[in-house]
Chains A and B, each alone.
Chain A
């Protein structure tokens, strides 16, 4: 059965490499994802102000769009979209007063009470296919590639929306990487913030956060850092031009596509850092 899919804005522009590789892989694995026919920005950040209901309109509207498709799940790939949608969904499910206010305001939409389940792509793979089955489907195991799995903040925090039952020491991405035949490394800053939107307000402190994460990944002797978020990719990938570190970064979906033997053109490596392409070339992964 087809499952509804929410891309988010950045996956349609700067992070096409994250989206295309994920969708092509899903299709090869027989998992049918159908993009919502109508959608808006998720809001990008879940507001921490308790009374800021205005910023919840965007994610709740997306959830209503999913409800209209008659599906009980909505799959996302971007970490920020996942976090914003999952938290908005939880709020609509659990906070009756806010639900009432929001439904009352959006009088042109059907009422929503958290009926949809928001699922991240990694969750979806684990639950629909399972790691053992994924391992069987891999045609081009990423043998000998040491990958540092980076979760950042938004896949596992807060606890209630965590992809992994152990948000303080998640293993879902390591399990995924092992299924691809890669060697996940264990590094202490895998759930430390990349600097996030501080890159706008306080770029120096964002750089310091990034350096912290990157240094930790390098110390774990990883060849490459696996990410699931375009903003993390900006802070940890692109911004390395302002840092002494030099470690390639790649989206988890690109690793999946590589392991499934999909063509490099589907991975849009031209959007990755130069050193990522260099590493892949060294490892004899064919680039267009």
Chain B
């Protein structure tokens, strides 16, 4: 949904749109055919105080499962992104209980063994793949769990990167794993422990702490609105096709 104002308008304007039947938790409603599931539920009278977040397909709060007549497949979508279809049977599963282990990230080594100790149930996975099949973000959940079992945290981190933590994988897991919490622990280990630290970043943070840019900041903060506008207009853009050695003409903000 590109624009939230548009979608609100659509609900108000929707009496003009053709209507289709959908079943929300088993009850039949006639709703305008172009609405998303979330808008259709609101149209039908449901009011969301939870189970709806960003309305932009990012936050993962509105996971919804549905089926269509004559098809055994369970289908999935985010309510804010999925457009209603005639005769769909749906319910929202905005939350599914999943235990998150508590651990001390600062004191951890970043090893797979620590993840295995925090989530020993990971070895209950039988590779049924129900998690991957349900994932609305098309994450290869089974594959990242397999990677964590064999200690490949970098791969797990990469494979789970687009997880929106909606929890639908948890709802489908016959081994009762909290997959997304396990993947989050792996990503934290990769980010905090396994990825080499960027030396230049540490240096720049130290520069800032030591006040190297204080004068520049003070100048900006005390500048008049007009001179800020001038500075903004005169700012230098990084050319789109420059190599990574490109630097701006003004070197005052750069590392020496």
Contacts and interface: CB of A to CB of B under 8 A. Distances in A.
Contact of B151 (A13, A43, A58): A13
Contacts of A38: 143
B129 A13 contact: no
B149 interface: yes
Interface in A1-19: 8-9, 12-13
A11 to B, nearest CB: 9
Q: Which one of A12, A40, A43, A54 has the highest number of Cβ atoms from chain B below 10 Å of its Cβ?
A: A40
B126 A55 contact: yes
A128 interface: no
Given A13-B112, A108-B133, A40 B152 contact: no
Contacts of A58: 126-127
Interface string B116-130: 000000000111110
Interface in A24-77: 38-41, 43, 54-55, 57-58, 61
A280 interface: no
Interface residues of B, number: 16
A57 to B, nearest CB: 5
Contacts of B126: 43, 54-55, 57-58
B149 A106 contact: no
Nearest to A44: B123
Interface string B176-205: 000000000000000000000000000000
B150 interface: yes
Contact of B127 (A8, A12, A40): A40
B146 interface: yes
A259 to B, nearest CB: 29
A133 B193 CA distance: 46
Given A40-B143, A41-B146, A12 B128 contact: no
A36 to B, nearest CB: 11
A45 to B, nearest CB: 12
Give the interface SS of chain A, mostly helix, strand, loop or mixed.
Answer: loop
Contacts of A108: 129, 132-133
A106 B150 contact: no
A40 B146 contact: yes
A215 to B, nearest CB: 32
B61 interface: no
B24 interface: no
Contacts of B84: none
A108 B125 CA distance: 18
A106 B128 CA distance: 8
A41 B143 contact: no
A40 B112 CA distance: 16
B129 A106 contact: yes
Contacts of B150: 8-9, 12-13, 41
B142 A40 contact: yes
Interface string B125-149: 1111100110000000011001001
B158 to A, nearest CB: 13
A170 to B, nearest CB: 29
Given A55-B126, A108-B133, A12 B143 contact: no
A97 to B, nearest CB: 20
B127 A9 contact: no
B139 to A, nearest CB: 14
A272 B167 CA distance: 42
Given A38-B143, A41-B146, A57 B151 contact: no
Given A13-B112, A108-B133, A41 B127 contact: yes
Contacts of A39: 146
Nearest to A106: B129
A13 B151 CA distance: 7
Interface of B: 112, 125-129, 132-133, 142-143, 146, 149-152, 174
10 contacts: A12-B152, A38-B143, A40-B142, A41-B146, A41-B149, A55-B126, A57-B128, A58-B126, A58-B127, A108-B133
Given A9-B149, A12-B152, A61-B127, 7 more contacts: A8-B150, A13-B150, A13-B151, A41-B127, A43-B127, A57-B126, A57-B128
In the A-B complex, the 3 residue pairs with the smallest Cβ-Cβ separation, listed nearest first, are: A9-B150, A40-B146, A58-B127
